[in-house]
C-alpha cells in the first residue's frame, strides 16, 4: 500500500495543512476525539505529539500540554492502544512527533512496528541525529514503509540540506525561524530571504513550514513559499479553550484555509 503521506502529496501540492496536537490533552481520552474531528475537518495531515518531560525544542504552550498529558497518565503504550482501531475510519496521514528518549525506552524496533500496526505513516523526532537514523532506524522504517521526517532551517547549509532531504521521507519540515515552537509570528524575514536558496538544495521532498504558524495569515504566507504549513501551539491553545472540539476544529481549519483576499 502506498504511504498515505506520499499519496497526499502526489495529489496535492499546495495549501497543505498539518495540525499538531499532544496525545492525552486536554484529557486522556481526547486523543481519538480530536483525531476524528480533524479527520472531518480541512486538515490534510495529522501530527500527534508524544508527551515528554523535557521537550527541548518546544515553547511554553506545548510544554504545558505535555506536562498535563503526562499528569493525565499518557504514555506510548496507552497511545498505541488508543490508536488501535483508528484506521477503521480515519483516512488521513497520521504522524507521531516526539523525542528520541521516549522511543528508545519503548524500544526502537518495537516502536516502528507498533506505528505500522496501527497505521501511523510517519515519525518526527527533532533530536534524532542523522547518523543514528542511518545506523539504526533507516533499515527498519524503510521495511515498514514508515516515513521519518527531518527538519531544516534557513541557516542549514546546502550540503546538509541535501543529506537531510535524501534521508527524509514524506516531506521536509522547514522551520519558520530560529525558535522553539510557538515562539514567533509567522515566517521570519530570514527564511523569506533564504527560501529560494534552500529550495535549490531540496530535490526530493515537499516542504512544510512549521513553528510560529498561528492562523490564516501566517498559513497563507507560508503557502506562498512552500507546499503548506504546520500549526501546533495555536491549535493547542484552541483545544484549551474549546468546549466543542468538533465544531471548533472544523471552524479553525476552515478559517486557516480560507485564502486571504489580496487588498
DSSP 126: T
Among residues 161 and 238, whose Cβ is nearest to another protein?
161
Q: In whole angstroms, how close is the CB of 173 to another protein at the nearest point?
A: 9
Phi, psi of 189 (to 5 degrees): -60, -35
58-64: long-range contacts, CB 8 A cutoff, minimum separation 24 = 58/180, 58/181, 58/182, 59/179, 59/180, 59/181, 59/182, 59/183, 59/233, 60/182, 61/181, 61/182, 61/232, 61/233, 61/236, 61/237, 62/22, 62/181, 62/182, 62/232, 62/233, 62/236
Closer by beta carbon to another protein, 15 or else 64: 64
Whether the CB-CB separation of 222 and 188 falls below 8 Å is answered with no
Decide if 58 is catalytic: yes
At 206, phi and psi to the nearest 5?
-70, 160
The distance of closest approach from Cβ of residue 54 to another protein in the complex, given in angstroms and rounded to an integer, is 5
Minimum separation from the CB atom of position 150 to another protein (A): 7
Q: Which of 6, 30, 58, 218 is catalytic?
A: 58
Question: Which of 42, 44, 47, 121 does the annotation list as catalytic?
Answer: 47
| Binding site residues, another protein, CB under 8 A | 52-57, 59-60, 63, 67, 70, 75-77, 99-106, 126-129, 131-132, 150-153, 155-157, 160, 164, 175, 178-180, 183
Q: Which is nearer to another protein, 55 or 119 (CB)?
A: 55
Residue 185 gets which letter from DSSP? S
CB of 55 to another protein, least distance (A): 8
DSSP character string of 244-258:
-HHHHHHHHHHHHHS
Beta bridge partners of 175: 210
Torsion sign over Cα 137, 204, 120, 209:
positive
Report the residue number, 136 or 250, with the smaller CB distance to another protein.
136
Q: Any idea which residue has 514508515 for its cell?
A: 146
Q: Which is nearer to another protein, 71 or 200 (CB)?
A: 71
Residue 165 bears catalytic tag = no
In the bound state with another protein, the residue whose beta carbon lies nearer, of 109 and 132, is 132
Least distance in angstroms from the C-beta of 16 to another protein: 21
**DSSP letter (8 states) at residue 146:** -
CB of 134 vs another protein, minimal distance in Å: 12
Q: Which positions are annotated as active-site residues?
A: 47, 58
Amino acid at each position: 500500500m502506498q504511504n498515505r503521506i506520499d499519496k497526499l502529496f502526489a495529489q496535492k501540492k499546495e495549501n497543505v495543512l498539518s495540525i499538531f496536537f499532544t496525545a492525552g490533552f486536554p484529557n486522556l481520552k481526547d486523543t481519538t476525539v480530536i483525531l476524528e474531528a480533524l479527520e472531518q475537518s480541512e486538515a490534510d495531515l495529522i501530527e500527534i505529539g508524544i508527551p515528554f518531560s523535557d521537550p527541548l525544542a518546544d515553547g511554553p504552550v506545548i510544554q504545558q500540554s505535555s506536562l498535563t498529558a503526562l499528569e493525565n497518565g499518557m504514555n506510548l503504550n496507552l497511545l498505541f492502544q488508543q490508536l488501535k482501531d483508528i484506521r477503521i475510519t480515519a483516512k488521513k496521514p497520521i504522524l507521531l512527533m516526539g523525542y528520541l528518549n521516549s522511543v528508545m525506552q519503548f524500544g526502537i524496533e518495537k516502536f516502528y512496528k507498533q506505528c505500522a500496526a496501527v497505521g501511523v505513516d510517519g515519525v518526527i523526532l527533532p533530536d534524532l541525529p542523522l547518523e543514528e537514523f542511518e545506523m539504526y532506524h533507516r533499515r527498519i522504517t524503510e521495511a515498514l514503509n514508515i516515513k521519518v521526517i527531518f527538519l531544516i532551517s534557513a541557516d542549514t547549509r546546502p550540503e546538509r540540506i541535501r543529506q537531510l532531504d535524501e534521508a527524509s521521507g514524506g516531506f521536509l519540515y522547514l522551520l519558520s525561524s530560529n525558535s522553539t515552537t510557538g515562539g514567533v509570528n509567522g515566517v521570519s524575514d530570514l527564511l523569506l530571504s533564504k527560501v529560494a536558496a534552500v529550495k535549490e538544495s531540496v530535490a526530493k521532498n515537499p516542504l512544510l513550514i512549521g513553528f510560529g504558524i498561528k492562523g490564516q495569515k501566517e498559513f497563507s504566507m507560508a503557502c506562498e513559499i512552500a507546499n503548506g504549513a504546520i500549526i501546533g501551539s495555536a491549535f493547542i491553545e484552541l483545544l484549551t479553550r474549546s468546549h466543542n472540539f468538533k465544531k471548533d476544529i472544523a471552524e479553525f481549519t476552515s478559517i486557516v484555509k480560507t485564502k486571504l483576499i489580496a487588498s
